[in-house]
Amino acid sequence: MPSRRPTHPRFAVVGHPNKGKSSIVSALALDDTVKISDVPGTTIKQRSFPLSVDGKILYELLDTPGFQRARQVLAWLEKHDVSADKRHEVVQAFINTHKDNAKFNDEIELLTPIMEGAGIIYVVDGSKPYGEEYEAEMEILRWTGQPSMALINHIDESDYSQEWKRALGQYFKMVRTFNPMRTDVSQHISILESMAQLKEEWISPVKQSIKLFEAYHAQMLSQSAEAIAKLLSEALSDVETLTLGDAEASEVDKEVLKEKYKEKLRFLENKTQKQIEKIWNHAHLEKEQALLTFDGIDLFSEEAASVFGLTRKELLITGATSGAVAGAGVDLLLLGHTLFIGGAIGAVVGGVGAYLGFNELSEVKVLGQKLGKRYLQIGPMENRNFPYILLGRAIFHAYHIATRSHALRDVEELSMDSTFKDKWLNEDLRKSLEKYHKMFRSGDEVSVEDLEAYKNLIEGVLEKLIV
pLDDT above 90 (res 181) = no
The tens digit of pLDDT for each residue in 4-29 reads 566 788 999 998 887 778 888 888 88
pLDDT on residue 38? 41
pLDDT on residue 41? 45
Q: Tell me what percent of the residues of the chain surpass a pLDDT of 70.
A: 81
Q: Tell me what percent of the residues of the chain surpass a pLDDT of 90.
A: 48
The pLDDT confidence band at residue 34, using thresholds 50, 70 and 90, is: low
The pLDDT confidence band at residue 454, using thresholds 50, 70 and 90, is: very high
The tens digit of pLDDT for each residue in 352-400 reads 333 344 445 777 887 766 555 788 999 999 998 999 999 999 999 999 8
The tens digit of pLDDT for each residue in 53-83 reads 778 888 899 999 889 999 999 999 999 999 9
The pLDDT confidence band at residue 339, using thresholds 50, 70 and 90, is: very low
Maximum average pLDDT range among 137-146, 287-296, 329-338, 372-381: 137-146
Q: Where are the domains of the chain?
A: 10-198, 214-465
Q: For helices 312-321 and 427-441, what crossing angle results, to 10°?
A: 60
Task: Give the predicted TM-score (pTM) of the model.
Answer: 0.80
Task: Report the C-alpha gap between 429 and 422 in whole angstroms.
Answer: 12
Q: In CATH, what is the architecture of 10-198?
A: 3-Layer(aba) Sandwich (3.40)
- Could you count the other beta carbons within 10 Å of the beta carbon of residue 119? 21
The tens digit of pLDDT for each residue in 227-266 reads 999 999 999 999 999 988 777 888 899 999 999 999 999 9
Residue-averaged pLDDT of the chain: 82
The tens digit of pLDDT for each residue in 73-111 reads 999 999 999 999 999 999 999 999 999 999 999 999 999
